[in-house]
Amino acid sequence: MNAVFWGVGRGPFPGTGAPRCGSLAAVQTKGVDVGRASSARMQEVLLGGVEHYPADRAACQALCEVLPMATGLAARSRSYLEGSVGRLAGAGAAQFLELGCGLPRQDNVHAIARRRQPAARTVYIDNDPVVLAHAYAQLEESEEELVLAADLRSGGLDLAPVCCHLDLGRPVAVLAVGLLEHLSDEAVRALVRALPAGSSLTVSTLACEDPAQGRVIDEAMHRVIPGAGGRVRDAAALSALVPGLHGHHPAVDGMAPYLAEGTAVLPGR
């Protein structure tokens, strides 16, 4: 049975506004458990969007109890993604691969890239059925963008579908923003191994130098989105998983949760 979705509600994280083209009200999806929070829709809540359900809003409230700065971190992470795409395209990047792309925003990767590189091509990957339905609806007539379904938690990335759209013999700007905290160490290593040699990997991920606080956040993530939590790492653990990653931005007091952000150039093989 098809279901039609649109986030509406009241409280700290309300769904507001009227349905727009490509919104949950206009997208048909199958088999979506609306009573189970989704990390992609939670991100939509934190960014002030409308396309979410009561379960997503409740999950965000629970997360904010242990991570009060969650809304600010989500906004900063999105800003970092958009700025990174502009910088990469300005430096010559014309192929983009966004992993865990989430729900479309007003300014998406392909649009930002094309302002600097008119012929830029982009591949979006996600495993959320609502995200995929949105992306398919918005990009179905585009020849420069491709949307693929893949669950990166299982480890690795099948590049066969990607190579039909991107030239993997040339560098690809790979974006993993808000993703690594949902993956195990093994899944991150498998992902890095699978990426095209010589490409760049841009990361923004929740980090914490206080092990006890990190565990509290981990437990909250697993509780509100079972199966989608990974771990909140410290800078040393991230550098070990993604060699060459630079640009960490610790919190002012050094121990509070923060976003580890940076770009690593993957070695040639």
Give the model's pLDDT for residue 216: 93
**Nearest C-alpha neighbor of 112 from the set 143, 155, 80:** 80
| pTM to 2 decimal places | 0.85
Domain 75-210+228-265 has CATH 3.40.50.300: no
pLDDT single digits (tens) 129-179: 888 888 888 876 678 899 999 888 876 788 889 998 999 999 999 999 999
**Could you say which DSSP state residue 181 is in?**
G
Boundaries of every domain in the chain: 2-66, 75-210+228-265
Distances in Å between the alpha carbon of 38 and those of 32, 124, 223, 231, 242?
10, 18, 12, 17, 26
Burial classification of residue 14, based on how many CB atoms lie within 10 Å of its CB (0-12 exposed, 13-18 middle, 19 or more buried): middle
What share of the chain in percent tops pLDDT 70?
Answer: 81
Show the CA angle centred on residue 207, arms to residues 124 and 151, nearest 5°.
30
Residue 251, pLDDT > 70, answer no
